[in-house]
Each structure stands twice: as structure tokens, then as C-alpha cells.
Homo-oligomer: A and B are copies of this chain.
Amino acid sequence: MVSGLGEQLVIVSNRGPVTFSRTESGEREYSRGAGGLVTALNAVSRRQEGAVWIASAMSEEDAAVSRENVPYEVEDLRVTFVEHDPDAYSLMYNHIANPLLWFVQHGLYDLPYSPGLGDDTRRAWEEGYVTVNRNFAEATAGAIAGAESPVILLHDYQLYMVPRFLRERLVSDAFISLFVHIPWPEPDYWRVLPRYIREGVLESLLETSIVAFHTRRYARNFIETATAFLGAEGDAERGIIRHEDREIWVKAYPISIDPGEFKELASDEAVEAEEEALRNLPGQLVVRVDRMDLSKNTVRGFEAYGRMLERHPEMREQVTFLARVQPSREDVREYARYAEVVQETVDRVNKDHGTDAWKPIELAMEDNFPRSIAAYKNYDVLLVNAVRDGMNLVAKEAAVVNDRGGVLVLSENAGAYEELGEHALTVNPFDLDEQAEAIYRALTMPAGERARKARALKQAVEANTIEHWVQAQIRDIASYREGGGEKQSAAPDAL
């Protein structure tokens, strides 16, 4: 057993590491999920024998597994599913988590017009979000029944109310943390939400032992929010909140990747096959890889690139912008509109600057991992210009496999800025000309400087891998427990 983790380790996240289905012949089969969070939590889960991962049932077969009432063993994982009423789940997911919390936490609302909150919001909160969170709390309480000193690691903005419902069910000395993987804004933006949501979320989060974020800025904002709305006593310097006789640590653990995994992927045959296609694209390669999301700043990225071509006509036919954008939430009005504007912007730039032999922007609206890795390996410039982004793992994944000495152009509002900013060309995501100039500078940077920057970037990622991320949390769990949440000397470097 790893020091610091209790007798029973439980990881809880809305989306789990596997999804089950039935083959036509009726056999149960599963597919493992990809994505940064799942990879990261796999790394945690592997640390502890007998660890259980609890997630929402996403398929019929997941639900069948959940009804078997024992954790299902998959390779090195033990998985339990929570079955939700579909209406409740939809209210949680489509009415609270993804529109409301996502928009508030990324600052995406056009506030003079939206949101238009009301009784529907309250219903979605009570019958959806709260219900789903109660289900999670119940499943978690079941998983740790009888265990001494269990450790419960809750993940992300779908589960804010779980700590509160867990504490109602537990008399044990459970350690509970909740990791917020998206930005945490300053107090005023939380005022957009109804009081029962913002205070409900904060009161629940103050039932944890540790609340964790990717950056010091989010951690600081959380402390200020708890102080402003609950009158909690916050010490931003030391990353501690005191509230109703409890001590909550507020910490920043910048999430990362497993560089070895990506290097291995990079030499995969499928990836190498995709690289052939890339070599046919004219000129240097500007790359972006992200979901189609209002937070990613895809539109301004293309506008900035268009301005670059306008100011530096000598760059025409000397560069191609390969944009790999995965379709996302297409049934949401704001997302559908954003996708339209993205397409219009691409068409305009291609029309204004393209030639018979050259298309300035190649937009691929698809989710194809080998192709994305191929793009990572071959970028000359990687554009990560998010309006706001919790961390942005693309910047890290691409940096470790790139072998063209590529330059990162990085938004000041991406979480990765705190770690990688000094090795990137950083930009204000709202400033089109600054982004245009950064792209130009990256494309025309002398080889020596490019190489130095690329090396430093890679080293920065390798200096804080997913393993460090896991270790730092395990260390803090142990420190917190040793001091019963009281030993304050363990926390001074929290922020």
C-alpha cells in the first residue's frame, strides 16, 4: 500500500475509464476511454491495490454491470457504475454542468443577453444535478462501507455536491478531495449563478479536505470566492481556508501527461502513415488541435492567421494552417453557431489569400487520434490561443513528440501559461494583431532560437509529468491526514 493512501481508495468521476457493450453474440466487451483525465486517473488508480473507480453508467451494459453490485475488474482497474434516471442525468449534464457551470467558469456568456435563468434552472439543479450527485454519494458510501480511513478522490464540475452528501452519510474519518479541472473564476462571475447554486457548491466544497486546481490563479480565486460568499476565513498565501472549525487545503497541482506514452504513440505505424499526408502540405505547418468549443478561440486564431498573411504577403504559399477541430456539443445552439462562424472564417481567409496551388487553412473537423499525433510531430508553430482553458494538455502532448523544433504560441489565459509561458510566445487571446505577429515571429525565428525554445519547452513538460502530479497529491493526502488537517506546516508552498 502506498504511504498516505488509506485502506480504501475510491476515484469518482462522471465519465469512467471503460464503457461496456454486448457483441452481437451476446458477449460483454469493453472499450477503454482516452483523454487526459482518464489517463491521469489511471495513473492514480494503479497506485493502490483494490482501488475502485466509480463513474456514471453511459451504456445499457454499464447499467447491467452496475446492477451486479460488485466492482468489475478490467485489466488493472476495478470499476463500479452508478445508474442514473436518464431525465435526471440529462438535466445535470445538459442544463447545469455543460451550459451553466462550463460557461460561468470559462467566462463565455454574452451577459447582456444570456443566461436567462429561472425556475427551469432550479428544477434542473434540484431534480438533475443534486439527484445525480446524491447517487454518486450513495455509491461512494457503499464502496467504502466499513473501511478505515478511506480516501475519496472526486473529479470535476459534475460532482460539486458530492462532498456534502457524502458527509451526511459518513461518520468515518474519510479523506475527501475534489479536483476542479476547469478554470475557477473570480467572485463576481459567480454572481451570475443563482444564490442556491453558488452557495450550495461552495458549502459542499468546504466539506472536503483538499480542493485542487491546475493553477495557483484558480486556487486563489477559489479562496476569494469562499471568503466573499460564505465569509470563510481564507489565507491565500498558504492555501488554507478555515470554515466552521474545519481546515480545507486549497492546492494547485498542474496536471500533465505521461511523456513515455506519447513518445511510444509517436512511433506507431498508424501515426507514421498519417505523416505522409502531412508532408504534402505546402510550406511550414501551423497546427491547432482542440474541441470545437467557444473557449478555444478558434475564430480569432484564423482571423489572426489571415492578418499575418495580409501583413506579410511573402508568407503566402510558405505556410499551411492545419486545424484539427473535433466536433463537440453540436446540438447546443451556441456551439452550432460557433461552428458556423469558424467555417465562415476559414472560407474567407482561404478565399482572400489562397491560390490555385495553395489553401492557407486545412480544416479537419474530425476526431482521429493518430492524425493528431502526426500533426503534433510536425508542427512548426502550435497555436493554443484559448479565451480560457483549465490547463490545455495539447500543449504538453505536442511538445514532447514534436521533432521539428516547433514553437508554441500560448494564450495568457490557458492554465498551461503558468508552467510553459516562459518557453512560448505568449499572447493576449483578444488581440488579433498580437497573435498575428506571434505566428509570424514563430515562423521566422532563427533556427537556433527555435531549437532552444523547443528543447526548453519539452524539458518543462518532462519536469512535471503525470507521475509528479500523482505523487504531489499522495504526499499531501498523507500530510493532511498526519496533521488531521491541522498541521499547517505542510501547506506553505500550496500556492
Chain B CB within 8 A of A413 CB = yes
Chain B CB within 8 A of A119 CB = yes
Neighbour of A118 across the interface among B294, B295, B338, B434, CB < 8 A? B434
Which residues of chain B come closer than 8 Å to A300, judged between CB atoms? 116
A373 to chain B, nearest CB (A): 28
Which residues of chain B come closer than 8 Å to A294, judged between CB atoms? 112
Interface 9-mer from A245-253, A400-408, A424-432, A477-485: A424-432
Interface 9-mer from A26-34, A185-193, A350-358: A185-193
Q: Are B387 and A430 in touch, CB under 8 angstroms?
A: no
Q: Are B108 and A431 in touch, CB under 8 angstroms?
A: no
Chain B CB within 8 A of A43 CB = no
A472 to chain B, nearest CB (A): 25
Q: Are B186 and A118 in touch, CB under 8 angstroms?
A: no
A116 to chain B, nearest CB (A): 5
Which residues of chain B come closer than 8 Å to A208, judged between CB atoms? none
Q: Are B191 and A111 in touch, CB under 8 angstroms?
A: no
Q: Are A433 and B117 in touch, CB under 8 angstroms?
A: yes
Chain B CB within 8 A of A341 CB = yes
Complex Cα spacing A440 to B488, Å: 51
Q: Encode contact with B along A442-457: 1 for CB under 8 Å, 0 otherwise.
A: 0000000000000000
Neighbour of A433 across the interface among B118, B186, B412, B430, CB < 8 A? B118
Which residues of chain B come closer than 8 Å to A110, judged between CB atoms? 109-110
Chain B CB within 8 A of A200 CB = no
Q: Are B117 and A432 in touch, CB under 8 angstroms?
A: yes
Which residues of chain B come closer than 8 Å to A387, judged between CB atoms? 111-112
Q: Which residue of B lies closest to A103 (CB)?
A: B112
Complex Cα spacing A326 to B332, Å: 35
- Residues facing B in A3-61 (CB within 8 A) are none
Which residues of chain B come closer than 8 Å to A464, judged between CB atoms? none
Q: Are A195 and B428 in touch, CB under 8 angstroms?
A: yes
Which residues of chain B come closer than 8 Å to A111, judged between CB atoms? 107-108, 387, 430
Chain B CB within 8 A of A121 CB = yes
Complex Cα spacing A434 to B432, Å: 39
Chain B CB within 8 A of A142 CB = no
A301 to chain B, nearest CB (A): 12
Neighbour of A113 across the interface among B191, B341, B436, CB < 8 A? B341
Q: Given A113-B341, A191-B412, answer yes or no on A121-B431 (Cβ-Cβ < 8 Å).
A: yes
Complex Cα spacing A431 to B117, Å: 4
A48 to chain B, nearest CB (A): 37
Which residues of chain B come closer than 8 Å to A194, judged between CB atoms? 428, 431, 434
Complex Cα spacing A430 to B193, Å: 8
Q: Encode contact with B along A109-132: 1 for CB under 8 Å, 0 otherwise.
A: 111110111110100000000000
A236 to chain B, nearest CB (A): 11
Q: Are A299 and B115 in touch, CB under 8 angstroms?
A: no
Chain B CB within 8 A of A297 CB = yes
Q: Which residue of B lies closest to A118 (CB)?
A: B433
Complex Cα spacing A464 to B434, Å: 47
Chain B CB within 8 A of A307 CB = yes
Q: Which residue of B lies closest to A188 (CB)?
A: B186
Q: Given A186-B188, A191-B412, A412-B191, answer yes or no on A430-B108 (Cβ-Cβ < 8 Å).
A: no
Chain B CB within 8 A of A290 CB = no
Which residues of chain B come closer than 8 Å to A397, judged between CB atoms? none
Which residues of chain B come closer than 8 Å to A113, judged between CB atoms? 299, 341
Complex Cα spacing A107 to B109, Å: 10
Which residues of chain B come closer than 8 Å to A413, judged between CB atoms? 191
A contact residues vs B (CB 8 Å cutoff) = 107-113, 115-119, 121, 185-189, 191-192, 194-195, 221, 294-295, 297, 299-300, 303, 307, 338, 341, 387, 412-413, 428, 430-434, 436
New A-B contacts (12) at CB < 8 Å, excluding given A112-B297, A117-B432? A108-B112, A113-B341, A116-B430, A117-B428, A117-B430, A117-B434, A186-B187, A191-B412, A191-B413, A192-B430, A194-B428, A195-B428
- 5 closest A-B pairs (Cβ-Cβ)? A118-B433, A110-B110, A112-B294, A186-B186, A117-B431
Q: Give 30 A-B contacts (CB < 8 Å), ordered by A residue.
A: A107-B111, A107-B188, A108-B111, A109-B110, A111-B387, A111-B430, A112-B295, A112-B299, A112-B387, A113-B299, A116-B300, A116-B432, A117-B428, A117-B431, A117-B433, A118-B307, A118-B431, A118-B434, A118-B436, A119-B433, A121-B431, A185-B188, A186-B187, A186-B188, A188-B221, A191-B412, A191-B413, A192-B430, A194-B431, A194-B434
